[in-house]
Amino acid sequence: MVKRLGTTLLVVWGAVTLIFLLIRLAPGDPALVMLGPTATAEQLATLRTRLGLDEPLASQYLIFLGDLLRFDFGTSIRLGKPAMDAVLERLPATIELTVWATIFSVGLGIPLGTLAGRRPGGAMDRTISSLALFGKSLPGFWLGVILILIFARQLRWLPSFGTGSFAHVVLPALTMTLPFMAIVVRLTRSTVVDTLREPFVQTAYAKGLTERQVMSDHVVRNSLLPVVTMTGLQLTTLVGGAVITETVFAWPGIGSLLVDSVAGRDYSVVQAIAIVVALMVVLINLLTDLLYARLDPRIRLGGQQ
Amino acid sequence: MSPGMDMTGPAEPHRAVNWSLWVALGVFGLIAAIAVLAPLVLPYSSAAGSLLDRLKPPGTLLRDGTLALLGTDALGRDVLTLAVHGFRTSVLVATLATLCSCLVGTALGVTAGYLGGWTDAAISRAIDIVLVFPAILLAIVIAGLLGPSLVNLVIVLVATRWVVFARIGRASTLSLREREWVRGAFVLGVARPLIIIRHVLPFLAGPLATVATLEFAAFVMTEASLSFLGIGLPASTLSLGKTISEGREHIGQAYWISTYPGLLLVLLVVSIGLVGDNLSERFVSRRERQ
């Protein structure tokens, strides 16, 4: 566990360094980029000094790390406030969307995947698997536009943008859910198919249990663990999906902030978002590992594998 | 989206698989044909399109006598022509990105797997670090920094996805390294680079082809997403993502501008996905038999 934490810290440090290098080594003067072409030479010089751009790269890096440890992510010139404040303001909206999408995907994906895996190659399996392949291939931004067209423009059931009520969450969450649910369905299906080949399933049938009992008590229970773990590790995909979805629905989360900041060359915010997302992903992976260890008696009780 | 996950799929030998592979390959061939031959049938000129023909529904006969099968956009341009040319961009970008990331990723992965030790530790940590970022986030950040151009877009895609090839290359090499013929070659004093080229790389073809297929689909999606956001490609380049984004403004009156190019995109990704699934089933079953 200590080793695991050590690796995690190393990866976080690496991710932070990667972002630093990307932004500092990119072509173009960051000061010029931040102030735009109308800036005077004097303004440029002031900003360069303030950002520490006159220093050599190594000392810039040390200053950058020092600032990070004090939670100082610089100031957003575009928004006129500390970059981290801007990000933290928007973060709850993204988390809200991601949580709903996770609930929908797992809540629907696991039953559908089980249904498909019960009879591999059967009609139900082929239908669900084809739909899952289709769902996995839906580009999030297009799906969002189509959902707006159908449910907001034609049927007028749901709002196409804004926040505040559950109705506002439905379309963006659905846009994130469908492709991710397809992943959960495929994962569940293949795990269930694997579990069905286990000897204990034959034993359960031999005991005279009905198919329903075998499925719910033996197959699904044993399949859940890998599915939950893999889903946890795949959440990165979902967070990536949030970036696109938020832009389509003008959802005020960090995804739309990222796109606006990149367009507005607001690199202190871009940097802050990248670091927050990296931390979130690392944290989710760590929690998934811990949850796995907690749920699996073989690991919990200290056995090997 | 991660191909690593898809390969956990078991390989039950069902016969229904083959026809779907052929259908997918057929669609794939059709796509390639469209991408190559389209300009001959539907030449694009940026001057084409008359504002008098703007936002016409599918099947309208335009003023110059041509039929707009999928309607026209806000500038009076034929949506089918836009979609087919955008499609060409997708296929071109994804092909370049797949080739480059396969080359870079495999080279690093095989080196890590074969040499082990510090080299392996360094490359493996680098893979972990890149994987911490959702690919699309990293792509947006790098694309924003580099500015729009086709070459930059390919660089962005390679920079975010080489890890997938590196991971599979490393894992396969790790197990191949211990096989008899590789050890035999080593004992006989064959030089390391030669061992890698002659005795390791040929056996990576299956897994790499699988990953390449799935990554191709991922690249098509990422390119379209970035173009949708208005980053990545220069404004003059036609792209499915851009057409869909522009159609969004007129979604109320002209659903066809966004809908049909998107369907084409889905068709492309689904058919590639089918080929990829078939490949990964084959690859996994072969490994299980060993």
Distance from CA of B223 to the nearest CA of A (A): 11
- Backbone φ and ψ of B100, nearest 5°: -65, -45
CATH no. for residue B90? 1.10.3720.10
* C-alpha span between A251 and A265 (Å, rounded): 20
Measured between beta carbons, the chain A residues lying within 8 angstroms of B262 are: 139, 142, 145-146
Measured between beta carbons, the chain A residues lying within 8 angstroms of B140 are: 243, 258-259, 262
Q: CB distance from B228 to chain A under 8 Å?
A: yes
pLDDT of residue B18: 66
pLDDT of residue B8: 43
Residue A270 has pLDDT above 80, yes or no: yes
* C-alpha span between A135 and A147 (Å, rounded): 14
Range of the domain at B221: 70-289
pLDDT of residue A198: 86
pLDDT of residue B162: 94
Residue B167 has pLDDT above 80, yes or no: yes
Residues 6+ apart with CB under 8 A from B102: B165, B208, B211, B212, B215
| A149: closest chain B residue by CA | B251
pLDDT category at B159 given cuts 50, 70, 90 is very high
Structural contact between residues A73 and A261, judged by C-beta atoms closer than 8 angstroms: no
Q: Domains in chain B: how many in total?
A: 1
Residues 6+ apart with CB under 8 A from B104: B158, B162, B165, B166
Determine whether the interchain pair B245/A141 forms a contact, defined as Cβ–Cβ distance below 8 Å.
yes
- B60 bridge partner residues: B68
Determine whether the interchain pair A27/B146 forms a contact, defined as Cβ–Cβ distance below 8 Å.
yes
Residue B94 within a domain = yes
Q: CB distance from A103 to chain B under 8 Å?
A: no
pLDDT in tens, B249-270: 887 788 888 888 888 888 888 8
Q: Helix B240-248 crosses helix B79-115 at what angle (to 10 degrees)?
A: 130
Residue B175 within a domain = yes
Element (H, E) at B118: helix B117-131
Pairing of strands B67-68, A75-76: unpaired
Residue B202 within a domain = yes
Distance from CA of A125 to the nearest CA of B (A): 12
User: Predicted ipTM?
Assistant: 0.83
Measured between beta carbons, the chain B residues lying within 8 angstroms of A183 are: 1, 5
- For A22, A194, B126, the CA distances from B159, given in Å and listed in that order, are 11, 35, 12
Determine whether the interchain pair B251/A145 forms a contact, defined as Cβ–Cβ distance below 8 Å.
yes
Taking 3-state DSSP, the helix, strand and coil percentages for chain A, each rounded to the nearest 5, stand at 80, 0, 20
pLDDT of residue B160: 92
pLDDT in tens, B99-144: 999 999 999 999 999 988 899 999 999 998 998 888 889 999 888 8
pLDDT of residue A305: 40
pLDDT of residue A196: 87
Residues B94, B96, B97, B103: is their CA dihedral positive or negative?
positive
Residue B4 has pLDDT above 60, yes or no: no
Comparing A190-204, A221-235, B102-116, B206-220, which segment has the lowest mean pLDDT? A221-235
| A120: closest chain B residue by CA | B12
Structural contact between residues A176 and A245, judged by C-beta atoms closer than 8 angstroms: yes
Residue B140 within a domain = yes
| B246: closest chain A residue by CA | A145
The domain spans of chain A are: 2-69, 89-295
Give the mean model confidence (pLDDT) for residues B160-172. 92
pLDDT in tens, A29-71: 667 766 777 778 888 888 777 777 777 888 888 888 888 888 8
Determine whether the interchain pair B128/A136 forms a contact, defined as Cβ–Cβ distance below 8 Å.
no
pLDDT in tens, A125-169: 989 988 998 888 888 888 988 888 888 877 878 877 777 777 788
Measured between beta carbons, the chain B residues lying within 8 angstroms of A195 are: none
Residue B55 within a domain = no
Measured between beta carbons, the chain A residues lying within 8 angstroms of B273 are: 133, 136-137
How many residues appear in chain A?
A: 305
Residue B15 has pLDDT above 70, yes or no: no
Residue B263 within a domain = yes
Q: CB distance from B121 to chain A under 8 Å?
A: no
Q: Which CATH class is domain A89-295?
A: mainly alpha
- CA-nearest of A199, A189, A198, A197 to A227 is A189
Closest in B8, B137, B258 to A243, CB measured: B137
| pTM for this prediction | 0.85
The pair of structure tokens assigned to B185 is 């070659």
Comparing A243-247, B50-54, B193-197, which segment has the lowest mean pLDDT? B50-54
